[in-house]
């Protein structure tokens, strides 16, 4: 079994974060009443749609790409899976630990455990990205093989929710946000810029006043300017911010009808709809299974259209061309 690592050291924090988000949602009678009318998406659908939007920006597909894996020349080592977990920050190791706990030590990643833990520990200690892939030969093959298994897909969903979704939603609460679109945007920003970077952007604007739409536009403009100032591959990803600007322009702040209109990485209008299995449950939570979300186990059958730097990078990895991308 793996030794205690970054993931196990954050267990108590995650449990606290889960309680915080659920308390806010359950304690707001007015918000629950609004959702009952159908004008506001069920909580599970907010999460479902937000993840599908980010999947579009990361892999140019609404179907979650469990098996995508490659080195993206961004200093993060290998990037893989539904939200591009990385070996250079310990997030890929967190997924593998979750998987290890589900299937035992006889799995595809046994040979990489020591290297992955060392990379995660180095990142945790120094705060610096660990871009080395030494000792990880064949890692992407192992990831693609595991990605066909429901236990590994569930592990990806677990780390997505506990390490990214819940912290991002607590941050959104701290900003004073209530609308689905704004909360989803905070999540997507967290995926790209990290929780700290997103918090800094929000802090530069201040808490929400009387008009959440105006706050969200200010946040989007600040995020776009941040990406432009970072240059290179980051500037190329402003398309995902522009997608949220389009969604804001439609006025569907609460994902009414359990859907939202946005833009893909080429600027084409798309509609992202909550999966039926999620919408059918009281909170949506019961619908969060790997089978309900579809996707490609091995990352095959993708249709990348360019635009977003990460999506374009994955195409380049697939054909052995030069690649570039953004990953938090």
Q: How do the pLDDT tens digits run along the chain, 328 residues long?
A: 444 343 344 333 333 334 334 333 444 444 444 444 445 678 899 999 999 999 999 889 999 999 999 987 778 899 999 999 999 999 999 999 999 999 998 899 999 999 999 999 999 999 999 999 999 999 999 999 999 999 999 999 999 999 999 999 999 999 999 999 999 999 999 999 999 999 999 999 999 999 999 999 999 999 999 999 988 778 889 999 999 999 999 999 999 999 999 999 999 999 999 999 898 875 544 344 444 445 544 432 222 222 233 333 332 222 222 222 333 3
Burial of 268 (0-12, 13-18, 19+ CB in 10 A): exposed
**Helices 180-205 & 166-175 angle (0-180, nearest 10):** 60
- Retrieve residue 205's tokens: 């604007």
Question: Of the candidates 63, 69, 73, which has an alpha carbon nearest to the alpha carbon of residue 302?
Answer: 63
The closest of 141, 64, 84 to 296, measured between CA atoms, is 64
Are 71 and 321 in contact by the 8 Å Cβ rule? The answer is no
Rounded Cα distance, 168 and 165, in Å = 5
Query: Quick one: pLDDT at residue 279?
Result: 87
At residue 181, the pLDDT reads 98
Q: In the Cβ-directed half-sphere of 255, how many Cα atoms lie within 13 Å?
A: 29
pLDDT, residue 283, reads 52
pLDDT score at 30: 43
pLDDT at 304: 24
- pLDDT recorded at residue 295: 53
Q: How far is CA 180 from CA 9, 90, 143, 251, 252, in A?
A: 30, 29, 32, 12, 9
């Amino acid at each position: 079994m793996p030794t205690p690592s970054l993931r196990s050291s954050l267990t108590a924090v995650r449990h606290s974060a889960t309680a915080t988000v659920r308390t806010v949602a359950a304690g707001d009678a007015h918000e629950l009443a609004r959702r009952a009318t159908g004008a506001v998406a069920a909580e599970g659908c907010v999460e479902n749609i937000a993840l599908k939007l980010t999947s579009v920006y990361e892999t140019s597909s609404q179907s979650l790409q469990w098996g995508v894996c490659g080195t993206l020349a961004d200093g993060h080592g290998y990037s893989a899976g539904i939200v591009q977990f990385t070996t250079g920050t310990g997030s890929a190791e967190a997924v593998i630990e979750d998987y290890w706990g589900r299937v035992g030590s006889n799995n595809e990643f046994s040979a990489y455990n020591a290297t992955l833990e060392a990379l995660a520990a180095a990142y945790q200690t120094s705060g610096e990205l660990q871009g080395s892939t030494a000792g990880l030969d064949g890692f992407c093959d192992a990831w693609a093989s595991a990605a066909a298994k429901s236990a590994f897909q569930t592990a990806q969903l677990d780390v997505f929710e506990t390490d990214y979704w819940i912290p991002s939603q607590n941050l959104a609460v701290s900003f004073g946000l209530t609308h689905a679109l704004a909360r989803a945007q905070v999540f997507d920003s967290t995926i790209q810029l990290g929780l700290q970077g997103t918090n800094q952007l929000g802090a530069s604007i201040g808490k929400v006043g009387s008009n959440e739409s105006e706050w969200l536009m200010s946040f989007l403009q600040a995020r776009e300017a941040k990406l432009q100032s970072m240059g290179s591959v980051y500037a190329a990803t402003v398309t995902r911010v522009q997608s949220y600007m389009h969604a804001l322009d439609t006025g569907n702040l609460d994902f009414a009808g359990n859907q939202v209109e946005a833009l893909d990485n080429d600027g084409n209008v798309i509609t992202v709809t909550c999966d039926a299995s999620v919408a059918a449950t009281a909170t949506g939570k019961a619908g969060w299974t790997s089978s309900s979300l579809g996707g490609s186990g091995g990352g095959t059958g993708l249709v990348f259209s360019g635009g977003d730097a990460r999506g374009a990078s994955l195409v380049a990895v697939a054909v052995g061309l030069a690649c570039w991308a953004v990953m938090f």
